[in-house]
Amino acid sequence: MTDAARRLWYRLRAHRLQGIKRQAVIGRYIADFVCFERKLIIEVDGGQHDGKGSDVARDRWLADQGFRVVRFWNNEVLQHTDAVIGRILEAAGSSADPSPGTPLRGAPPSPTRGEGKDSN
pLDDT at residue 31 above 90?
A: yes
pLDDT at residue 119 above 80?
A: no
CA 51 to chain centre: 23
pLDDT for position 82: 92
Burial degree of 13 (CB within 10 A; 0-12, 13-18, 19+): middle
Q: Domains plus CATH for the chain? A: 3-95 (3.40.960.10)
Q: 97: which residues sit within 8 A by CB, 6+ positions away?
A: 15, 16, 17, 18
Secondary structure element (H or E) that encloses residue 10, with its range: helix 3-12
Q: Tens digits of per-residue pLDDT, 59-110?
A: 999 999 999 999 999 999 999 999 999 899 889 884 444 444 434 344 444 4
Residue type, position 67, single letter? F
